[in-house]
Amino acid sequence: MFMYKVGVIGDKDTVLAFKALGLGTFAAVSPEEAKKTLRALVREKYAVIFITEQIASQMEDMIEEYQNEILPAIILIPNNQGSLGTGMQKIRESVERAIGVDIIFEREGEEN
Amino acid sequence: MEIRVNPTRMELSKLKKRVKVARRGHKLLKDKQDELIKKFIDLVKQNKELRQEIEKELSEAFRNFVMARAAMSGQVLEESLMYPVGKVDIKVAEKNVMSVRIPQIDIVGDEEAGGEETNKYAYGFAGTSGELDNAISILADILPRLLKLAEIEKGCQLMAVEIEKTRRRVNALEYVMIPTMSDKIKYITMKLDENERGNITRLMKVKDMMMQEGV
């Protein structure tokens, strides 16, 4: 069976932490750079690509593009400055998309 | 709305068949949608919990990492992380959930490559700080769950798309296809009945005229 790889795209510090685990790490400073890296990773059979929320928020359109494909799975992770909540937001979006109303998170919304 | 059909028996029986098929399709799609939503909600709940957990632990790991970065010179840090212990490869299989293809991700055992439990640190302990060990240890711990999260989250996304598609189809059948076809059927039946009545009155009239002439 074909082996797929796991990649991480993010700022230098965040990415460095993952390097020790043996993931393919790619530091990106600008959104353009990150986009280029993402395209290259998809071509090179990376099945799971973790992207930090900070960078992902600047390349929404491209991430959306891959959302309907089976692979790659693009997953947002917080970077070393903490979470922006974009990852959660994404889950909420897919709930709204599927059901029409957000029934999973609404209870929390009331608390906030 | 204008109804454009030939009011013939042929057309009528054709339409009746089509409506029957459409009703059946609608019922099947509706069932599919219900089941999809049920599965989706389960998956999303898992997704949410896992993400909360992971985000918490990940920030813990990063905090340690930032400390390590502060305690060590950047060069040493980079040097110690330059050669990873092993390589993480994954296997991806496809699972079919209600005709949605969902990836299933497995980590390929990397033990033989040297990534044993005792040796997840790729560096000597002399020049590095304890925080770095902590950070790496937490990260190594999270990794399998991180991949699990990837699997679940991707599944959620794909299912959301499929549910949306199914809902469109169900609605199209329910609110457009079936009503128009029913209207057409009604129109044809009425037209045919009207023709029938016209025919009968004509016959009666002709009979009357013949009776009068015959007498």
Q: Are strands A24-27 and B89-97 parallel, antiparallel or unpaired?
A: unpaired
Phi, psi at residue A82, to the nearest 5°?
105, 170
Q: Does B44 touch chain A (CB under 8 A)?
A: yes
Q: Answer yes or no: is the ipTM higher than 0.90.
A: no
Q: Is residue A42 part of a domain?
A: yes
Helix (H, G, I), strand (E, B) or coil at B125: coil
Does residue A23 belong to any structural domain of this protein? Answer: yes
Is A25 part of a structural domain of the chain?
Answer: yes
Say if A22 falls within a structural domain: yes
In tens, the pLDDT along A70-98 reads 878 888 888 777 677 788 888 888 888 88
User: Residue B156: which of A53, A92, A51 has the closest Cα?
Assistant: A92
- Nearest residue on chain A to B66, judged by CA atoms? A80
Band (pLDDT 50/70/90 cuts) for residue B122 is low
Q: Tens of pLDDT along B154-202? A: 888 889 889 999 999 999 999 999 999 999 999 999 999 999 999 999 9
Q: What are the DSSP calls for A17-31, one per residue?
A: HHHTTT-EEEE-SSH
Are β-strands A73-77 and B89-97 bridged in parallel, bridged antiparallel, or unpaired? unpaired
Partners of B92 in the beta sheet?
B105
Domains of chain B: 9-209 (1.10.287.3240)
Is B99 within 8 Å of chain A by CB?
Answer: no
Q: What is the pTM of this model?
A: 0.79
Residue indicated by tokens 């040297």: B114
Per the domain annotation, does A67 fall within a domain? Answer: yes
Whether A63 is covered by a domain: the verdict is yes
Please check whether residue A17 is in contact with residue B65, taking contact to mean a CB–CB distance below 8 angstroms: yes
Residue A111 lies in a domain: no
Contact (CB<8Å) B40/A98: yes
Q: Which among B44, B100, B106 is the top mutation candidate for probing chain A, defined by the most A β-carbons within 10 Å of its own β-carbon?
A: B44
In chain B, the largest separation of any two C-alpha atoms, in whole Å, equals: 131
User: Per-residue pLDDT tens for A49-75?
Assistant: 888 888 888 888 888 888 888 878 888
B97 vs A: CB within 8 A: no
CB contact under 8 A, A88 and B86: no
Task: Report the CATH number at residue A73.
Answer: 3.40.50.10580
Number of domains into which chain A is organized: 1
* Nearest Cα residue to A74 out of A83, A65, A63: A63
Distance in Å from the first CA to the final CA of chain A:
47
| pLDDT band per the 50, 70, 90 thresholds, residue B28 | very high
